């Protein structure tokens, strides 16, 4: 890669994100250099589509109690129902719920909670971090003190305590995940913004007497995005894993709207008697989702981080 | 050079780097020899292959590089053919090396005594106490005060010059027959440079150790070496006794090199400048590597010039060598 | 050095105080334990007696004052459920968690460092690539599911290891320890592997990056020029350099492990403080939750301090610069 390209890749995130032909094509080409990453991206997108269109593609709506028959409970994978009209490819749980359908709906819950909390936490952390860097001084010191304090405790512990206080519920889980995550973004953005702030284009903007708001959000922030994108991708995977863990521990989403983590927890008791499928398949789905997102994140990091470039 | 066989004789050495983009001939057809107690100056710009030559002798060329041909005869044995285990026995005992940056050559997390005694005990079956004693003596020899205290210190507690003395002490620990010094004074202050040069020279003369002094600085070599090899683009373009080469440079590159050193007797005059840049060694075109920058180049230079003997014991790899004293050649 | 330590200590005390306020406000201000603690059939008088006994009728600031005063005396309240001293209850579960965390830490170091070094020394070999692929899996595998699969595999299918519980313990200074009995060890094995997996992946990555960096350094080449055996170069020159980041991160991760033990202990029904925390959260046993939190905060601070010390011992450069600071 020539130096000019390198500079373009690191200094012009705006153009790339706005999907103009030149830089974005180059970005796509760089990403495609790793077939594993491309496969992972395809997989992640497929999973997302499955989740979005869950209602239309699953054989059964697992939340509709009218469609459930307790007599069809605990079928092993591949078994058929009483009249042989349906096949449960991944078996059924104790309530006669088709595991395949439950997994797709669980995936929707997991991805939804993960993505939504990440987007909100990203927005929040990004704003706080860039403000801290731009204003510096006491504002910066105060914000970073809070960030450091929070980051010195493991995310799972913070989330557990929050949910112990807030109680159960999808909204509560999302709030907990936002609170857990924002500090990462704040720290990442602040680090980048501190470097960017000293560059000439910010000085130029200040010389034009633009408002603080305009400088921060239109000039400074967009140029801090690349490292943030990497962190955000990895964080979506972390958020999904964390939500699954919390749900498994029984402090996450309610039993009426199970995520993958809760599905796994439901199968825990049956697993000891050898009825593995209730826990096993949701776990595989969870694992595949997380691996796919992490692989995409790895490749993004390689592309967007000029320091790692050779 | 005296009649007895030299300590080291390198014949037609080829060290190539097999990179993804092609083969880099970092060292090409290099031949020279050093006798006991002699100092050979290996001079060239960065990237000319002088360091790789040094590492080739030690057998420490990193992947993707390897020795692709030639012989390295050390005390009559060909190092190229030697098994790695045998070569390791020679490294640090018979052949030692001093590196360029003393800040980087000592392991920051190990104490000096550890780093010194391990070098002794890797080659000699002696007790730890005896090894410490040897190390102490070596430190005294290179002029380090309070050696006992120094042995128990970590590298970061030393100045750059002190660290290089330690590195030199380590190199001389096992009384080697050959020392390869890879720009050991470049990273040091000028005053320290002089001291280090003096110490290294004295040690060599005293112990009869042969030395290859790699540098880009002609001034350093001028006061130190007996013989000089000038390298350019992986080849030795000129070699010979130091005075002969410096006073009557034959190769246009040597002339340019000498001419670009600010010198007292040409004060006020224009400094000579070699036009152009060093070529990339990757897939270098055939012919003389210097021809694109050479004022004397002709069509004959499109073919690789052979090594020719010139007057005053010099050897030149050039079709159109100069012949005459420096002043005449430069004007 | 002393100044530095005192400053660190001051910061730590501030953190403890801040956490005390946060924890109290968070846990005591929201939620209603009366619903959980007293059966719905209980009469008014009975309920009031219970409220008075638990101090829940007092104003919030007074509750906080009592809380702080008691905390300083080591009294972090009484468990609603067990009717015993909350701190004592947690401390009685602490050895089980600690022995699990330490065993997991041992696994992480003694598996992670060698594997990471192999991957770092031979990044393009099959072994190196396999190790790195494994570490990516280790990062991605959800901890609890991996634990369940361990149970499924070793306890249900092969029936070679127990699925949960702590097994036989030996009393040492009045503390029950599992790792001294064979039965106890067999109970510890799966949970420790489960807890270690993520850390092992982390250590592999650290060790690999460190090895790759160190092996490019001049001092490694100089060590080779000294004629040292490759073994000595790897085991002394490189290893000592990569131990610095590994120890730092692992020290910090010990705290993380104690937190993550919550998951492992739940999966393997290991009677440690993590499982106690989950049970207490489910039962709204707030004093136990609060005591757990305060204890963890203090533990984290101690661990962080200890890591800093260890760092000084390992890296002579830090020792000097810190002494100057």
Q: How far is A210 from chain C (nearest CA, A)?
A: 39
- Among chain A residues, the shortest Cα distance to C28 is held by A165
Length of chain C: 325
Task: List chains touching A (3+ CB pairs under 8 A).
Answer: C
The CB density around residue B202, as the number of other CB atoms within 10 Å, is 12
Token digits of residue A69: 């028959």
Contacts of A286 in chain C (CB under 8 A): 142, 145
Q: Do C241 and B123 touch (CB under 8 A)?
A: no
Contacts of A274 in chain C (CB under 8 A): 156-157
pLDDT tens digits, one per residue of C202-214: 899 889 988 988 8
Integer CA distances (angstroms), C90 to C84, C280, C297, in order: 10, 11, 14
Q: How far is A305 from chain C (nearest CA, A)?
A: 16
Residue to mutate among C14, C144, C305, with most A CBs inside 10 A, is C144
Residue B8 near residue B33, CB atoms below 8 Å: yes
* Closest among B143, B137, B134 to B162, alpha carbons compared: B143
**pLDDT of res. C79:** 77
Give the separation between CA A231 and CA B72, rounded to whole angstroms.
Answer: 53
Integer CA distances (angstroms), A92 to A69, A256, A273, A287, B41, in order: 10, 17, 15, 20, 82
CA atoms within 13 A on the CB side of C317: 9
Token digits of residue C258: 């104690």
**pLDDT band (50, 70, 90) for residue C325:** very low
Domain locations along chain A: 44-63+103-308
Nearest-CB residue to C227 (from B100, B106, B122): B122
Token look-up 């001079």 returns B43
Domain locations along chain C: 93-316
Distance of CA B178 to the CA centre of its chain: 11
What CATH architecture applies to the domain C93-316? Orthogonal Bundle (1.10)
**pLDDT of res. C220:** 92
Contacts of C281 in chain A (CB under 8 A): 160, 163-164, 251
Q: Collect all residues with Cβ–Cβ distance below 8 Å to B2 and sequence separation of at least 6.
A: B35
Domain that holds residue B81: 8-103+176-264+272-330
The residue ranges of DSSP E strands in C58-208, in sequence order, are 170-172, 175-177
Report chain B's terminal Cα–Cα distance, integer Å. Answer: 32
Exposure string of A263-299, with b = 16+ CB inside 10 Å and e = fewer, is bbbbbbebbeeebbbbbbbbbebbbbbbbbbbbbbbb
Contacts of C324 in chain B (CB under 8 A): none
Model-level pTM greater than 0.80?
no
Least confident of A25-29, B7-11, C184-188: A25-29
Please count the structural domains in chain B: 1
Task: List chains touching C (3+ CB pairs under 8 A).
Answer: A, B
Domain topology for A44-63+103-308: MetI-like fold (1.10.3720)
pLDDT tens digits, one per residue of B46-90: 888 899 999 999 988 887 888 998 999 998 889 999 888 888 999
Q: Do B91 and C226 touch (CB under 8 A)?
A: yes
Average pLDDT over residues B178-206: 83
Q: Report yes or no on B2 lying in a domain.
A: no
- What's B191's domain CATH number? 3.40.50.300
Give the separation between CA C288 and CA C304, rounded to whole angstroms.
Answer: 24
The CB density around residue B264, as the number of other CB atoms within 10 Å, is 5
Residues 150-179 of chain A with CB under 8 A from chain C are 152-154, 156-157, 160-167
Residue A3 has pLDDT above 60, yes or no: no
Q: What is the DSSP string of C12-50?
A: HHHHHHHHHHHHHHHHHHSS-HHHHHS-TT--HHHHHHH
Strand order of the β-sheet with B315-316 is: B95-98, B178-182, B210-215, B39-43, B227-232, B235-241, B315-316, B308-309
Q: Report yes or no on B189 lying in a domain.
A: yes
ipTM: 0.86
Q: Report yes or no on B134 lying in a domain.
A: no
Residue to mutate among A110, A160, A250, with most C CBs inside 10 A, is A160
3-class DSSP assignment, residue B77: strand
Residue B208 has pLDDT above 50, yes or no: yes
Q: How far is A286 from chain C (nearest CA, A)?
A: 8
Q: How far is B242 from chain C (nearest CA, A)?
A: 28
3-class DSSP assignment, residue A77: coil
**pLDDT of res. C30:** 56
- Among chain C residues, the shortest Cα distance to B179 is held by C225
**pLDDT of res. B2:** 45
Instruction: Provide the phi-psi class of B312: left if phi over 0, else alpha when psi is between -120 and 50, else beta.
Output: left
Residue C38 has pLDDT above 80, yes or no: no
Q: Report yes or no on B111 lying in a domain.
A: no
Give the separation between CA B231 and CA B290, rounded to whole angstroms.
Answer: 11
Q: Does A264 touch chain C (CB under 8 A)?
A: yes
Q: How far is B291 from chain C (nearest CA, A)?
A: 35
Q: Do C315 and B109 touch (CB under 8 A)?
A: yes
* Closest among C162, A181, C231 to B85, alpha carbons compared: C231
Token look-up 């994140």 returns A297
Q: Report yes or no on B97 lying in a domain.
A: yes
pLDDT tens digits, one per residue of A158-194: 888 888 777 788 999 999 999 999 998 998 888 888 8
Q: Report yes or no on B48 lying in a domain.
A: yes
């Amino acid at each position: 890669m020539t130096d000019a390209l390198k500079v373009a890749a690191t200094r012009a995130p705006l153009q790339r994100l706005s999907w103009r032909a030149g830089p974005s094509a180059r970005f796509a080409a760089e990403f495609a250099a790793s077939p594993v990453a491309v496969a992972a991206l395809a997989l992640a997108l497929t999973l997302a589509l499955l989740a979005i269109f869950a209602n239309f593609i699953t054989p059964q709506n697992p939340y509709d109690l009218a469609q459930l028959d307790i007599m069809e409970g605990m079928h092993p994978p591949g078994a058929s129902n009483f009249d042989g009209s349906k096949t449960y490819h991944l078996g059924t749980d104790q309530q006669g719920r088709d595991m395949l359908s439950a997994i797709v709906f669980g995936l929707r819950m997991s991805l939804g909670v993960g993505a939504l909390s990440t987007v909100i936490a990203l927005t929040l952390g990004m704003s706080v971090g860039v403000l801290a860097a731009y204003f510096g001084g006491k504002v910066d010191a105060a914000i970073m003190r809070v960030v450091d304090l929070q980051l010195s405790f493991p995310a799972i512990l913070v989330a557990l305590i929050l949910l112990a206080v807030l109680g159960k519920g999808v909204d509560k889980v999302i709030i907990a995940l936002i609170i857990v995550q924002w500090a990462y973004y704040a720290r990442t953005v602040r680090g980048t913004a501190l470097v960017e702030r000293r560059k000439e284009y910010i000085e130029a903007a200040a010389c034009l007497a633009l408002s603080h708001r305009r400088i921060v959000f239109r000039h400074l922030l967009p140029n801090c995005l690349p490292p943030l994108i990497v962190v955000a991708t990895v964080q979506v995977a972390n958020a999904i894993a964390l939500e699954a863990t919390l749900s498994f521990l029984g402090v996450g989403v309610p039993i009426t709207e199970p995520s993958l983590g809760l599905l796994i927890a439901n199968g825990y008791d049956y697993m000891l008697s050898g009825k593995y499928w209730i826990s096993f398949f949701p776990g595989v789905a969870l694992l595949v989702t997380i691996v796919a997102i992490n692989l995409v994140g790895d490749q993004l990091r390689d592309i967007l981080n000029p320091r790692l470039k050779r | 050079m005296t009649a007895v066989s030299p300590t080291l004789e390198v014949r037609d050495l080829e060290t190539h780097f097999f990179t993804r983009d092609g083969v880099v001939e970092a060292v090409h057809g290099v031949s020279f020899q050093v006798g006991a107690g002699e100092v050979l100056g290996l001079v060239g710009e960065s990237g000319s292959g002088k360091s790789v030559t040094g590492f080739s002798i030690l057998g420490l060329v990193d992947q993707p590089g390897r020795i692709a041909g030639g012989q390295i005869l050390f005390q009559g044995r060909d190092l190229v053919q030697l098994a790695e285990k045998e070569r390791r026995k020679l490294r640090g005992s018979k052949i030692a090396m001093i590196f360029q940056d003393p800040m980087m050559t000592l392991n920051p997390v190990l104490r000096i005594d550890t780093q010194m005694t391990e070098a002794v005990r890797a080659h000699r079956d002696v007790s730890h106490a005896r090894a410490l004693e040897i190390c102490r003596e070596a430190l005294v020899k290179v002029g380090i005060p309070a050696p006992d205290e120094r042995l128990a210190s970590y590298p970061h507690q030393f100045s750059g010059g002190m660290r290089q003395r330690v590195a030199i002490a380590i190199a001389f620990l096992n009384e080697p027959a050959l020392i390869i010094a890879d720009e050991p004074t470049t990273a040091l202050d000028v005053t320290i440079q002089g001291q280090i040069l003096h110490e290294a020279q004295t040690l060599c003369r005293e112990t009869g150790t042969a030395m290859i002094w790699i540098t880009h600085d002609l001034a350093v070599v001028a006061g130190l070496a007996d013989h000089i090899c000038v390298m350019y683009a992986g080849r030795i373009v000129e070699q010979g006794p130091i005075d002969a080469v410096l006073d009557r440079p034959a190769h246009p590159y040597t002339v340019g090199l000498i001419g670009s050193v600010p010198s007292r007797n040409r004060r006020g005059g224009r400094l000579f400048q070699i036009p152009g840049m060093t070529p990339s060694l990757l897939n270098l075109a055939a012919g003389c590597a210097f021809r694109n920058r050479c004022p004397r180049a002709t069509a004959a230079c499109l073919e690789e010039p052979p090594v020719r003997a010139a007057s005053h014991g010099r050897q030149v790899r050039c079709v159109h060598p100069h012949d005459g004293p420096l002043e005449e050649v430069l004007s | 050095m002393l100044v530095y330590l005192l400053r660190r200590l001051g910061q730590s005390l501030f953190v403890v105080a801040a956490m005390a306020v946060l924890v109290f406000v968070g846990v005591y201000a929201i939620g209603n334990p009366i619903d959980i603690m007293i059966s719905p059939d209980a009469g008014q008088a009975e309920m009031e007696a219970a409220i008075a006994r638990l101090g829940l009728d007092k104003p919030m600031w007074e509750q906080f004052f009592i809380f702080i005063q008691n905390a300083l005396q080591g009294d972090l309240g009484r468990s609603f459920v067990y009717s015993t001293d909350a701190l004592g209850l947690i401390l009685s579960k602490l050895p089980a968690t600690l022995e699990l965390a330490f065993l997991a830490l041992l696994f992480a170091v003694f598996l992670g460092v060698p594997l990471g070094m192999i991957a770092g020394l031979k990044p393009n070999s099959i072994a190196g690539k396999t190790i790195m692929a494994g570490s990516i899996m280790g990062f991605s595998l959800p901890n609890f599911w991996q634990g369940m699969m361990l149970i499924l595999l070793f306890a249900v299918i092969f029936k070679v290891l127990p699925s949960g519980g702590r097994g036989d313990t030996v009393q040492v200074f009045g503390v029950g320890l599992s790792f001294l009995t064979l039965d106890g060890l067999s109970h510890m094995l799966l949970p420790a592997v489960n807890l270690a997996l993520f850390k092992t992946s982390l250590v592999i990555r650290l060790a690999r990056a460190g090895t790759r960096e160190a092996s490019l350094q001049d001092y490694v080449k100089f060590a080779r020029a000294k004629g040292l055996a490759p073994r000595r170069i790897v085991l002394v020159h490189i290893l000592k350099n990569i131990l610095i980041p590994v120890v730092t991160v692992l020290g910090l991760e010990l705290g993380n492990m104690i937190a993550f033990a919550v998951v492992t202990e739940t999966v393997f029904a290991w009677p440690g403080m993590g499982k106690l925390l989950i049970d207490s959260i489910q039962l709204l046993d707030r004093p136990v939750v609060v005591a757990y939190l305060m204890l963890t905060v203090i533990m984290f601070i101690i661990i962080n301090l200890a890591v800093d010390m260890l760092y000084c011992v390992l890296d002579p450069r830090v020792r000097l610069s810190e002494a100057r600071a």
